[in-house]
Structure 1
Amino acid sequence: MRSALRKAIDGVRWYVRELTDESAYDRYVAHVGTNHPHTPAPSRREFERMRTNRQEKDPRQGFRCC
């Protein structure tokens, strides 16, 4: 019973992280480690800044409300 509950909680956690794109940084760090092993991965803050800058430059992203 306990393992079934743990699996359910882990599944919900995975779903929420994917839905909110919280796991994007983890995927990026894995990509850098695999494809560019001698390049240090950026910090979480640097990654979010790069991502925000890229989204703001893309005209398909629409407008920002604030």
Structure 2
Amino acid sequence: MSAGAGFGGLLHPVAQALRGLAKYLQGVMGADAYRKYLEHHAAAGHGTPPMDERAFWRDRTDRQDTNPQGRCC
């Protein structure tokens, strides 16, 4: 077994951990909100098409500005 083969075996778990961390941070920061909105929209069976991503973020920001709640920033 070469030294490179042993090191290569470590890369996969590290990469998985980094992807998991990135996904967690996106959730904390709200970056996955549009994806969640699309999933909810599809599951709820709305008769109208979902907002496009730009309209979604504009609507979300407007709602946060008119209804401020405790948030960090």
TM class, shorter-length: 0.7 to 0.9
Amino acid at match of 2:62: N
Higher relative contact order (CA 8 A, sep 6+): 2
Q: Share of identical aligned residues, percent? A: 27
Instruction: Name the Cα RMSD after superposition.
Output: 2.0
Could you tell me whether the CA contact under 8 Å between 1:29 and 1:41 is conserved in 2?
Answer: yes
- Aligned pair count? 62
How far is 1:2 from its partner? 2.9
TM-score normalised over the length of structure 1: 0.76
- What is the rounded CA distance, in whole Å, between the counterparts of 2:60 and 2:39 in structure 1? 16
Whole-angstrom CA distance in 2 between matches of 1:7 and 1:37: 35
- Runs of 5+ unmatched residues, structure 1: none
Question: Which stretches of structure 1, 4 residues or longer, exceed 4 Å deviation after superposition?
Answer: none
